[in-house]
Every structure is written in C-alpha cells, then in structure tokens.
Amino acid sequence: MNKLACALLSSVLVGTMAAPALAQTPTPAPAAAKAQPPKGFEKLGWLAGTRYIDRSGTKSYETWTGISGGLISGAVASASGGGLAEFFVIGPNEQGVYGLKVANTTKGLTNWTFRPIVLLEPNKIKFADGTGSFSIESTPDGGIHNVATKIVDGKESQSGEWFWLPVK
C-alpha cells in the first residue's frame, strides 16, 4: 500500500508542479525584421495582368499579380519546346535583398535562382548578378518587353528577347 500511496502522491505533486508551468502564457520570440521594398517598388503595378506570345500559332501566356505584402508573383505557361511552366517572385531573399526568384519545370521546380534588383524605374525593372541579367519593361500597348543576357568569359551578350502582348 505504501508503494501505491507514494506513486499516487508523486503523481499529484508532479501534476501540481507542472500545471502552473503549462498554464503560463509563452513569451513570443522577437519578430524578425521584415525586409522593406525598395523605393519605387509600389510603382510596379503595371506588371499586373496576363500577356501572350504567339510563336507560329502556339501561344504562351505570362501572368503577373499586383503587389501584395511587398511581393509580386508571376507564372508563364508555354506549349513550345515540349511545354514549360515557370514561376517568379519579386521580393526579398533570406538576407532581405530584393530581387527576382525564378524556378521552372525543367528541373522539377527545385532550381530556384535569384538575381538582385539593379534598376527600378516607373516602367522598367532590371535584375543582374555575375551570370547575367533580366529586364522587364512595359510597352505602350500594355505589353511587356523582356531581355535576358548571359555573361560568358567576362562578356555580356543577349540570350533572349520576348515581346508579350496584352490579352484583350
């Protein structure tokens, strides 16, 4: 009986000691400082919308969201070249640097890359790093003009250019 009484008493003591600890309101950890968008970021609203390219009767579509929470996201769906989906986010990386994150389905969406913003004007944004650059510029008809470059052996050369037309 003594063993049973000791076990019961131990359970009650442990319970009464643990209950206040469990009932305490946890102190929240200090929030990490949120990266602030660069000056002029709020003027990138012109990106929002859906546009297309027609390549010999095969249409590809690109869509960008408006600005939300300091981010802009987008996607492209292309039937050319066997099909491709690509996803974009303009926002901060883990260090709080704003730029363009991109991944596509050619490698199972595990191939995210990042290029910081190097130019931000009312109708143009450009991202660049040591491998090349990518620019997005609005066109008078509501479309978008993109230019991609690569840097090979220290020299920059254009690797792609696209004129996306507005969907009407």
For residue range 5-55, list pLDDT tens digits in order.
333 333 333 333 344 444 455 554 444 457 899 999 999 999 999 999 998
Unique residue bearing structure tokens 């609203």: 45
What is the pLDDT, as a whole number, of residue 107? 74
What is the pLDDT, as a whole number, of residue 110? 82
What is the pLDDT, as a whole number, of residue 25? 56
**How many other CB atoms are found less than 10 A from the CB of residue 101?**
18
Asked if pLDDT for residue 76 goes beyond 90, the answer is: yes
Unique residue bearing structure tokens 């660049």: 128
What is the pLDDT, as a whole number, of residue 18? 41
pTM listed for this prediction: 0.76
